[in-house]
Copies of this chain bind each other. A is one copy, B any other.
Amino acid sequence: MESPFNDTYFMKRALQEAEMAFEKGEVPVGAVIVCKDQIIARAHNLTEMLNDVTAHAEMQAFTAAADFLGGKYLKDCTLYVTLEPCQMCAGASYWAQIGKIVFGARDDQRGYINLETKLHPKTKIVGGVLEEECGKLLTRFFIEKRNLN
């Protein structure tokens, strides 16, 4: 029997986090960190609520995962995040030496790929998991925001 724990399964959990951000009026990005098929951290963007540009979903998840593990390196962990990480979050992933990053939607403007941020050489990367769902939530957020202003 195939394990229910695959990239789609965990990206759905990240998407649930993104929906929580949406409900709070935050740019809807969510993240979970998984170690041995267990979610050890979950977070969503809180930059508005916390008045803090560093409060991206990934940053909070790195902090929470390291706290859970009792060590600052996340070599055996996978980050699932609904949007391609930015320079800051990709830079943090370098320091955390994260084992793998799985992201949903691309971010051509601010994402680490086009900005050529250097990942840790041991970090594997998978893009485009639930890309459409992750992207649609972001699009809906920005359309609603524009209509309110």
Contact = CB atoms under 8 A, between A and B. Distances in A.
- Taking each of A73, A91, A94, A96, which has the highest tally of chain B beta carbons within 10 Å of its own beta carbon? A91
B59 A95 contact: no
A8 interface: no
A123 to B, nearest CB: 13
B53 A96 contact: yes
Interface of A: 47-48, 51-54, 59, 62-63, 66-67, 70-73, 86-92, 94-96, 115-118
Copies in the complex: 2
B51 A54 contact: no
- Taking each of A51, A54, A116, which has the highest tally of chain B beta carbons within 10 Å of its own beta carbon? A54
Contact of A67 (B47, B51, B73, B117): B51
B92 A90 contact: no
A96 to B, nearest CB: 5
Contacts of A72: 47-48, 51-53
